[in-house]
Structure 1
Amino acid sequence: MTETARPVAAHGVAAGPSLLYLLKRAELVVRARLEELLKPAGVTALQYTALTVLERHDGASAAQLARDSFVTAQSMADMVRALESRNLVRHEPHPHNRREKVIRLAAPGRRLLADHAEPARQLEERMVQELEPADVDRFRDALKSAHRSLS
Structure 2
Amino acid sequence: MTDKAVNTAQENWDQRLGFLMHDVSRLRRKVFDEVMKPEGITRSQWWVMAHLSRHDGMSQSDLADVLDLGRAALGGLVDRLEALGYVRRGADEQDRRTKLVLLTPEGRAMIERMRVKSDVMSEAILQGLSAGQRHQLADMLSLVKRNLLAFDTSRA
Using the size of structure 1 for normalisation, the TM-score is 0.82
- Between the aligned partners of 2:72 and 2:17, the Cα distance in structure 1 is 30
Identify if the C-alpha distance between structure 1 residues 70 and 26 changes in structure 2 by more than 3 Å, giving closer, same or farther. farther
Q: Which amino acid aligns with 2:90?
A: E
- Between the aligned partners of 1:23 and 1:105, the Cα distance in structure 2 is 31
Q: Is the 8 A contact 1:7 1:16 kept in 2?
A: no
Q: Which amino acid aligns with 1:83?
A: L
Deviations 1:8-53 (A, max 9, x none): 326xxx9386111101111121111111111111111221121121
Tell me the number of residue pairs that the alignment of Structure 1 and Structure 2 aligns: 143
Partner of 1:123: 121
Q: Write out aligned runs for 1:17-28 (5 A).
A: 18-28=16-26
Q: Which amino acid aligns with 1:24?
A: H
Task: Find the partner of 2:84 among 68, 83, 86.
Answer: 86
Per-residue deviation, 1:95 = 2.4
Task: Find the partner of 1:103 among 101, 104, 127.
Answer: 101
Identify if the C-alpha distance between structure 1 residues 30 and 86 changes in structure 2 by more than 3 Å, giving closer, same or farther. same
Partner of 1:52: 50
Q: RMSD in angstroms over aligned alpha carbons? A: 2.1
- Secondary structure at the aligned position of 2:58 is classed as coil
Per-residue deviation, 1:64 = 2.8
- Between the aligned partners of 1:105 and 1:48, the Cα distance in structure 2 is 12
4+ long deviations beyond 4 Å: none
Q: Which amino acid aligns with 1:66?
A: A
Task: Find the partner of 1:139 among 116, 137, 140.
Answer: 137
Residues 1:9 and 2:7 aligned together:
no
Q: Is the 8 A contact 1:53 1:68 kept in 2?
A: no
Q: Which amino acid aligns with 1:9?
A: Q
Percent identity (aligned): 24
Which residues of structure 1 form unaligned runs of 5+? Answer: 1-5
Using the size of structure 2 for normalisation, the TM-score is 0.80
Identify the structure with bigger relative contact order (alpha carbons < 8 Å, sequence gap 6+).
2
Per-residue deviation, 1:73 = 3.2
- Between the aligned partners of 1:20 and 1:71, the Cα distance in structure 2 is 23
